[in-house]
């Protein structure tokens, strides 16, 4: 299998990160134009005056940068050790699809129990990937 295939789920994950990043200034400017917030409301993050719909893209953006860092690191490790195979690639795509589902729910109707399912499932997939990677290192050593 071409090792470079692992970069496609990484690219899609990066694109997912750019969506809330692009939404943040739009929501903040709209809020300022409505008189709901001022620049001081963002001086130390977000003040209590910032409406939930304005805070949401920022929180989603942070979420796409937290645990997914471990996904990106693992993907690069798989590439560097020549361990990208159909199983890892399928799990990588499963992780990304679950994160997309989480973000769609988070950025739209935001029901916590609904977004918990893809969030928890994505974390489970990532843990499985890391365990499999570690076992492959133990079992086969370096290539």
- Condensed to tens digits (0 to 9), the pLDDT of residues 76-101 reads 999 999 999 999 999 999 999 999 99
Range 137-141 average pLDDT? 83
Instruction: Collect all residues with Cβ–Cβ distance below 8 Å to 93 and sequence separation of at least 6.
Output: 9
Q: Which is it for the CA torsion 115, 119, 125, 128, positive or negative?
A: negative
Q: Which domain holds residue 134?
A: 3-140
CATH number, domain with residue 119: 1.20.120.550
Mean pLDDT rounded to a whole number for the chain = 96
What is the average pLDDT across 40-62? 94
Total domains in the fold of the chain = 1
Instruction: For residues 27-39, give the mean pLDDT.
Output: 96
pLDDT confidence band for 142 (50 / 70 / 90):
low
pLDDT band at 53 (very low <50, low <70, confident <90, very high): very high
């Amino acid at each position: 299998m071409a090792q470079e295939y692992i970069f496609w789920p990484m690219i899609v994950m990066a694109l997912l990160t750019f969506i809330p990043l692009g939404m943040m200034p739009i929501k903040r400017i709209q809020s300022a134009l409505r008189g709901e917030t001022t620049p001081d409301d963002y001086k130390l993050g977000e003040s209590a005056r910032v409406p939930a719909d304005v805070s949401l893209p920022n929180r989603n953006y942070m979420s796409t940068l937290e645990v997914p860092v471990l996904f990106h690191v693992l993907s690069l490790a798989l590439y560097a050790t020549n361990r990208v195979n159909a199983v890892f690639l399928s799990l990588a795509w499963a992780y990304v699809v679950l994160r997309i589902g989480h973000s769609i729910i988070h950025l739209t109707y935001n029901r916590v129990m609904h977004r918990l399912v893809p969030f928890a499932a994505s974390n489970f997939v990532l843990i499985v990937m890391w365990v499999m990677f570690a076992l492959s290192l133990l079992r086969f050593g370096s290539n």
